[in-house]
Amino acid sequence: MMQSQFSGGTWRDGAAPPVLRYLFALFLFLVALAARFMLVDLLPARGFPFLSFFPAVLLAAYLAGLGPGLLTAFLSTWAAWAFFMGPRLAPADMAHSDLIALVFFASILVIDCLVIERMNLAMRKLRATGTRLRESEDALVARQAELSEANRQKDVFIAMLAHELRNPLAPILSAAQLIAMRAGADEPLARAAGIILRQGLQLTRLVDDLLDASRIHSAKLTLQVAPADLRDVIASALETSGPMIEQSSANFQLTLPQPPQPIPVKVDSTRIAQCVSNLLHNAFKFTASHGDIGLDVSTGLDGMARIRVTDNGRGISPEMLPRLFDMFTQEGRSGNDGNSGLGIGLALTRDLVERHGGTLSAHSDGPGRGAIFEIALPLNTEVQAPAIAAVAPAAPDAPQQAPSVLVVDDNVDAAELLQALLGLHGFAVQIAHTGAAALAALAQQRYQVLLLDIGLPDMTGYEVAIAARAQGLLDDTTFIVALTGWSDAESRQRSVDARIDHHLNKPVQMEALLSLFDTRPMSTNLTTV
């Protein structure tokens, strides 16, 4: 505490009253005077009359302020003249050299006091600036913490929003598929079901893009990279875009390298298929009826595989090209002149491609002259030509029992519609709406497939899978699929930890679910009828 009071003129700043400061200056003067008398035998008084007074004046000015410093300077000048400059003479009778020395001494002391006062003022300003900077730094740290928390809450909100939107989307799309299957020759009904399906899938696409954008900004998007044949990736993208291609009146052409051969890459197949699907979606969206759209896949001597999507549609203005891959960027307002969506599809595509070590480029000769988008990905020699499986002799036909499926979902509409759809494909389906009901059903009967929602009201789907295995309620061939609105990496990892075979995001198309069943070897053939 004393150290802080004796630094940088803090007394003068109000740490001590004026009387105390002046008494302190007087004390310093008396100490300097006593010290000068003690040195009189070592240093001649006349030759060194001012020696001990300089420190006293400097300390008084620095520690107590300008007034106490000037008081010490005055007393020091008087003492030097009165006690150490020879006979007690009036200033007029002093030698010119002594008078000049005395005046010079007094002037130096006054100048020192003024300089120290200016220094103290500068130091006070510096301390005040430092205090403001520390306060600003503390405020910035606090603000950064608030922004980080707000960003975390935003990510949580978007994840929750995606989950809550997917839950009602699942029964909507299931109902549309069921209506389409039952429509028969009723063309208006079939057309209405198709509209619901297409718009529902578009809404699903928007939800997925929004969630992916949040993951990219929060660095939570992870890639499942593995060797793959690019032709299979393209096939997956075309399967996703199939309804759009079939409904469009545009002319679509696919060109693959000839002769047919594997195109080895090391990618997250789902994500690259998503990128290709995004580019096809844009091409069809901005190409008029009976326009031309092409998807060309090629390899080059530069060690890159190239996926080129071309169209002769609306084109891109030169002003827009540099900003084309910026997040939330659209040429014109959303909803006008063909624009729709959130303006994040191309930004997501570029980010995903660059995460694979590739590039995404765009070219257009201007409005009305079409556009070219090209993805370039590094080739990878780890992927070999697929082995030809030996053809096993056909086994005699055996009577087949309807494959049994247990659908566990607290959304009653979703569960019942999925039960109806699977029933139309030859499955024997039972439903349960809680984890306890699912375990009770598994205790009564063995099921080949368990479609399991994660967010159940009494326990999580992970806990259902773990408990069912622990209680011996599952066969070794039981195929467990998490059919859920949670799609983040943590949820997928928890599915793996719970020994869930597959993790599908809601809403899932029936064709994708059936394809998944067909690729899973089980004790009973799950090929649908």
Please provide the DSSP assignment of 198-261 as one string: HHHHHHHHHHHHHHHHHHHHTT------EEEEHHHHHHHHHHHHHHHHHH--SEEEEE--SS--
Predicted confidence at residue 218, as pLDDT, reads 58
- Main-chain phi, psi angles of 501, to 5 degrees: -70, -35
Instruction: Write out the DSSP string of 316-362.
Output: --TTTGGGTTSTT--SS-TTSTT--S-S-HHHHHHHHHHHTT-EEEE
Give the separation between CA 262 and CA 73, rounded to whole angstroms. 96
Q: Give pLDDT tens digits for 242-295.
A: 878 887 888 999 999 888 888 999 998 888 988 998 899 889 888 888 889 999
Encoding tokens for residue 219? Answer: 């660095």
Exposed, middle or buried, 508 (CB in 10 Å: 0-12/13-18/19+)?
A: buried
| 396: preceding bond cis by omega (within 30 degrees) | no
Q: Give pLDDT tens digits for 1-29.
A: 444 444 444 565 556 788 888 898 899 99
Predicted confidence at residue 10, as pLDDT, reads 52
Q: How far is CA 400 from the centre of its chain?
A: 51
Angle at alpha carbon of residue 493, lines to 489 and 498, rounded to 5°? 150
Residue with tokens 């326009």: 291
Q: List CB contacts of 160: < 8 A, sequence separation 6 or more.
A: none
Do residues 76 and 57 touch, judged by C-beta distance below 8 A? yes
Give the separation between CA 354 and CA 348, rounded to whole angstroms. 10
Do residues 443 and 402 touch, judged by C-beta distance below 8 A? no
Give the separation between CA 197 and CA 243, rounded to whole angstroms. 9
Residue with tokens 């024997």: 428
Give the separation between CA 40 and CA 58, rounded to whole angstroms. 22
DSSP element (H, E) containing 505: strand 502-505
Do residues 371 and 315 touch, judged by C-beta distance below 8 A? yes
Q: List CB contacts of 148: < 8 A, sequence separation 6 or more.
A: none
What domains can be seen in the chain, in order of their start residue? Answer: 2-141 (no CATH), 226-378 (3.30.565.10), 404-518 (3.40.50.2300)
Q: Give pLDDT tens digits for 135-150.
A: 999 999 999 888 888 8
Q: List CB contacts of 255: < 8 A, sequence separation 6 or more.
A: 294, 295, 296, 297, 298
pLDDT surpassing 70 at residue 497? yes
DSSP element (H, E) containing 269: helix 269-285
Q: List CB contacts of 135: < 8 A, sequence separation 6 or more.
A: none
Q: Which of 66, 295, 324, 341 is nearest to 199 (CA)?
A: 341
Give the separation between CA 503 and CA 487, rounded to whole angstroms. 8
Q: Give pLDDT tens digits for 368-383.
A: 888 999 999 999 866 4
Mean pLDDT score, 453-460: 87
Do residues 138 and 467 touch, judged by C-beta distance below 8 A? no
Q: Which of 402, 494, 409, 408 is nearest to 448 (CA)?
A: 402
Q: List CB contacts of 466: < 8 A, sequence separation 6 or more.
A: 498, 499
Neighbour count for residue 412 (Cβ, 10 Å): 11
Give the separation between CA 482 and CA 94, rounded to whole angstroms. 108
Predicted confidence at residue 406, as pLDDT, reads 93
Mean pLDDT score, 330-348: 59
- Interhelix angle for 53-64 vs 66-84, to 10°? 170
Q: Give pLDDT tens digits for 221-244.
A: 677 888 989 999 998 888 878 878
Give the separation between CA 252 and CA 362, rounded to whole angstroms. 19
Encoding tokens for residue 158? Answer: 């978007």
Do residues 418 and 451 touch, judged by C-beta distance below 8 A? yes
Q: List CB contacts of 189: < 8 A, sequence separation 6 or more.
A: 179, 183
- Main-chain phi, psi angles of 101, to 5 degrees: -65, -40
Q: Give pLDDT tens digits for 25-79.
A: 899 999 988 888 887 777 666 656 677 888 899 888 888 888 888 999 999 888 8
Do residues 325 and 374 touch, judged by C-beta distance below 8 A? no
- Main-chain phi, psi angles of 248, to 5 degrees: -80, 150
Residue 267, strand partner residues: 226
Predicted confidence at residue 249, as pLDDT, reads 85
Neighbour count for residue 306 (Cβ, 10 Å): 17
Task: Give, as one character, the DSSP assignment of residue 182.
Answer: H
Predicted confidence at residue 419, as pLDDT, reads 86
